[in-house]
Structure 1
């Protein structure tokens, strides 16, 4: 496989997994929690390194899940205590991220784990860091991890499809019929955490946040159907990655940055042209109503 293929595949896997998981955050009106988790997992990564003294991906995933769940728990704790959700997210996000930065400077100075790397990543190096896979040969490590997490995401979403749907649209009804709303919520936050950290090394937190929010928000403007939104969001995430890669190649800029910009541009186009919720459609309807 070519160098370009592996980069496109990596970006597409990020778009797919983040796009699908991000749909639930959009439906639950928790988009900014994605930003918080994508940054606070840095604390989980450095804590996993301090405990294990290893950069092994398994320990990193465990640390990320713990950090993601801790973020969610602290936000809910503050919110239930009377603090507005946006303020709670802001306090928890900045505090835990700053703690992670401090711990890196103290305990991980000489380790390949730094703030800039966590935020920006470097997808251009993905094809060179390979791992041997039976029957498939040498495959980029990021592709293996992202592919594995994508499969986990799909399996969990399929198994909890009804529960995730009900708790997203009507949590009160879900609780009334016996669905453990809080457990489902923490399972979803766990998915967000592992999906985020699986993309950290290759694309960084900035692109992860963009892919968690922009594809789902774009799909939301196109359809009101739950299943269609999930499929569209994954497809839009892949489209954003492809457009971003060739845009980066054309202008010789950061690949991850270009993919994030592409996600924003695709959202902007759909926001203007969406047949039901687009600015143009709303303007035409208002004009016809006044006439």
Structure 2
């Protein structure tokens, strides 16, 4: 049963991140998940200072608020002429530093550090269960991530065309009357919610890996967004299953092995992709050289 909940939790993270990651990759904002995972630290510390406890709900709320503030600041800087990657770097490093300072000033005697707020351990998810509707054997992380996945599926399903047009051609979306800024903030809000919801269960590192790598792999395999999302989700689930199996065999970090498997799959796709792979590019160059010669 332990294996089932660990793999199931990883699969839920893979589904949520696989869907959102495709839109982030297309918009060249893959590292936004990494930015949010670090910049929410001040919100966690402030929530602790207000409540006086490490209650999960309070910290999640504080982190969620800072996640939205992060997205707002990044967008504000971009509109001011700062490049996208520079905006992300400035915001998350500055807010992360503020969080470190707040911890050093107000929480020195409390176990409130990066290990307990950012780098969760997926191997322990089956121990933390809660009772919902009389069901008391399902881990808390499964409930939280399950609700998150359901919410993402509803929002993306209802507004799929709008998100698709905004991802490929924002100018066309504006011409069609689609509120591009609104859907941008909705997407970033979903990313923030997913990142925060996964803190205690799997940790931000696994979330960032699942946001970027499966979607990037799927991008190499297809040029259709719907197929890309499907491939991204399936690759993420496969990484969860095989990552756990290899980690159990080697007695290694489960989250780290899941992302390692994802990286290995990406490397294979990078070489053998039928459209964008290195081998295909090499063949094209040889054909062009023969034609030119």
Structure 2 length as normaliser, TM-score?
A: 0.92
The 8 Å contact of residues 20 and 234 in structure 1, kept in 2 or not, is answered as: yes
Paired residue for 1:224?
Answer: 223
The 8 Å contact of residues 122 and 201 in structure 1, kept in 2 or not, is answered as: yes
The 8 Å contact of residues 41 and 193 in structure 1, kept in 2 or not, is answered as: no
Give the Cα separation in 1 of the matches to 2:71 and 2:50.
22
Paired residue for 2:164?
Answer: 165
Paired residue for 2:62?
Answer: 63
Give the Cα separation in 2 of the matches to 1:31 and 1:115.
22
User: SS of 1:133's equivalent?
Assistant: coil
Give the Cα separation in 1 of the matches to 2:45 and 2:107.
8
| 1:36-47 map, 5 Å | 36-47=35-46
Consecutive unaligned residues of structure 1, counting only runs of 5 or more, are none
Give the Cα separation in 1 of the matches to 2:50 and 2:135.
33
Give the Cα separation in 2 of the matches to 1:207 and 1:59.
22
Q: How many residue pairs were aligned?
A: 290
User: SS of 1:31's equivalent?
Assistant: coil
The 8 Å contact of residues 271 and 278 in structure 1, kept in 2 or not, is answered as: yes
Give the Cα separation in 2 of the matches to 1:155 and 1:5.
26
User: SS of 2:18's equivalent?
Assistant: helix
1:110/1:244 Cα in 2 relative to 1: closer, same or farther (>3 Å)?
farther
* CA-to-aligned-CA distance 1:74-120 (integer Å, 9 cap, x gap): 12222232322222211111111121222233334455642123343
Give the Cα separation in 2 of the matches to 1:12 and 1:82.
38
* CA-to-aligned-CA distance 1:240-289 (integer Å, 9 cap, x gap): 11121112112111111111111111111111111111111111222233
The farther-off stretch of 141-150 and 46-55 is 46-55
The 8 Å contact of residues 64 and 194 in structure 1, kept in 2 or not, is answered as: no
Structure 1 length as normaliser, TM-score?
A: 0.93
The 8 Å contact of residues 36 and 192 in structure 2, kept in 1 or not, is answered as: yes
Q: Within the alignment, does 1:176 sit opposite 2:175 as a pair? A: yes
Q: Within the alignment, does 1:48 sit opposite 2:47 as a pair? A: yes
* CA-to-aligned-CA distance 1:203-253 (integer Å, 9 cap, x gap): 211111100100110111111111111111111111111121112112111
Consecutive unaligned residues of structure 2, counting only runs of 5 or more, are none
Using the TM superposition, give the Cα deviation of residue 124 of structure 1 relative to its aligned residue in structure 2, in angstroms: 1.1
The 8 Å contact of residues 39 and 95 in structure 2, kept in 1 or not, is answered as: yes
1:152/1:55 Cα in 2 relative to 1: closer, same or farther (>3 Å)?
farther
Give the Cα separation in 2 of the matches to 1:152 and 1:60.
21
Paired residue for 1:250?
Answer: 249
Give the Cα separation in 1 of the matches to 2:249 and 2:230.
29
The farther-off stretch of 47-56 and 218-227 is 47-56
Give the Cα separation in 2 of the matches to 1:279 and 1:260.
22
| 1:118-137 map, 5 Å | 118-134=117-133, 136-137=135-136
Q: Within the alignment, does 1:233 sit opposite 2:201 as a pair? A: no
The farther-off stretch of 76-85 and 171-180 is 76-85
Paired residue for 2:269?
Answer: 270
The farther-off stretch of 281-290 and 193-202 is 281-290
Paired residue for 2:2?
Answer: 3
The farther-off stretch of 227-236 and 71-80 is 71-80
